[in-house]
Amino acid sequence: MRGNKLFLGLGALVSVMLLSGCAITVGGASQTAVKADGGIWKSIDGSKNWVQKVAVPTVNGKTASIANVDVDRISFDPQDHKAVYLSTEKNGIIYSYDGGDSWRQFNQLNSGKVVQVAISPRDKCTLYAITGKVLNFSDDCGRTWSVSYTHSDDKVLLTDIVIDRSSSTIVYMSDSKGEILKSLNYGKTWTLLYAAKGSVADLVMDPADSQIIYAATAKDGLYMTTNGGKDWSSLNLGLKLYSQSQEYKKLIADPATTHGLILVSKFGILKSSDMGQTWQIVNLLSSDNAVNIYSVAVNPKNSQEIYYATKITLLKTSDGGNSWSSSKLPFSGLPNVMVIDPVEINTLYIGTLAVKK
């Protein structure tokens, strides 16, 4: 049974803004909302039209909202694409079991920053969540959480976690020290696999082969293993051809291309079809270094269809970057994260981040 704690449940309440717009309390600080056009936006027609999806059921039957929530990551349940989990800046984990039509929170991990939520592809109720230097674990769909791992150094933050699709007992994790760790028993014990230079920002597992894992560092390029972490090699030789390509923003596995990758960096967007050994430029509308890319998504069934978002514009190509269409984003915040539904490929989600003034 999945956890079904309402966002505005009994106990430790997290107050949110009503759709009419009023004083709100988020993370203990009261403020007045000027605009409530943030949170999550969803398109079901390939980005032609967008609808804000922020409704929260409440105990009194009224509708509240997550329109003021800053979203860092969006994760799908591998067994149920309608189950969507948000990792937020200040509001813990927010989740939906109906594709964003309604949102809720758990009893625990309902405040503060959550870096990442990982859902087991085989054990339906097994969840992991990173908060600071702590890895949290749940085996009852989020109803209860326990601490699975805590880094011994208070200055080190955990950064990402991925679960092996072939065996859900196997978990990989990274941190800001550059460490990559592996567990064979659901995170109960860990082994250090590798120490990269600088912080590891993301871990990306190959969609077809879970033995292939990429580690993306903040400023020292990419590393990879082809044997589940036993051996690691640098992918920086191929990236040296592209100025500032080691200034990392995002790495995406391309399921529609065998061993395909899309790298977003200060250089722009690069794609690879050989596990990052060589790269090709994805031509953008403007020169590569002239555009600030906030988020990118690729159609999981068509590598030629790529989206990227600047501060106020969404751009889409259906031919691998030879031509682009553009449209103005329907919100005032930053398009911090964009994902495509792995089943309904015309469905996109964008999570927003408030513009800091």
Report the distance separating Cα 175 and Cα 164, nearest Å.
18
In this predicted structure, what is the pLDDT of residue 291?
A: 81
Q: What is the mean pLDDT of residues 265-269?
A: 94
DSSP class of residue 291 equals -
Query: In angstroms, rounded to a whole number, what is the distance separating the alpha carbons of residues 301 and 25?
Result: 41
The most distant pair of C-alpha atoms in the chain lies apart, rounded to whole Å, by: 59
- Percent of the chain, pLDDT > 70? 89
Going along the chain from its start, the domains and CATH numbers come out as 115-234 (2.130.10.10)
pLDDT for position 60: 79
- List of residues 6+ apart from 152 with CB closer than 8 A: none
Higher pLDDT, 348 or 31: 348
Phi, psi of 243 (to 5 degrees): -55, 130
Stretch 185-214: mean pLDDT: 96
Banded pLDDT at 356 (limits 50, 70, 90): confident
Task: Transcribe 143-200 into DSSP letters.
Answer: SS-EEEEE-S-TT--EEEEEE-SS-TT-EEEEETTSEEEEESSTTSS-EEEEE-SS-E
Q: Where does the pLDDT of residue 32 fall: very low under 50, low under 70, confident under 90, or very high at 90 and above?
A: very low
Give the residue from 1, 5, 2 showing the smallest Cα distance to 106: 5
The stretch 122-128 carries a mean pLDDT of: 92
Segment 265-274 shows an average pLDDT of 95
Q: How far apart are CA 128 and CA 161, in angstroms?
A: 8
- Looking at per-residue confidence, does 34 or 138 come out higher? 138
Asked if residue 223 lies in contact with residue 215, where contact means CB atoms within 8 angstroms, the answer is yes
AA identity, residue 289 = N
The model's pLDDT over 276-334, given as tens digits with 9 standing for 90+, comes to 999 999 999 875 556 899 999 999 999 999 999 999 999 999 999 999 999 999 999 99
Report pLDDT for 289.
Answer: 53
Q: pLDDT (tens digit, 9 = 90+) per residue, 74-116?
A: 999 999 999 999 999 999 999 999 999 999 999 999 999 999 9
Which range, of 29-43, 83-97, 154-168, 334-348, averages the lowest pLDDT?
A: 29-43
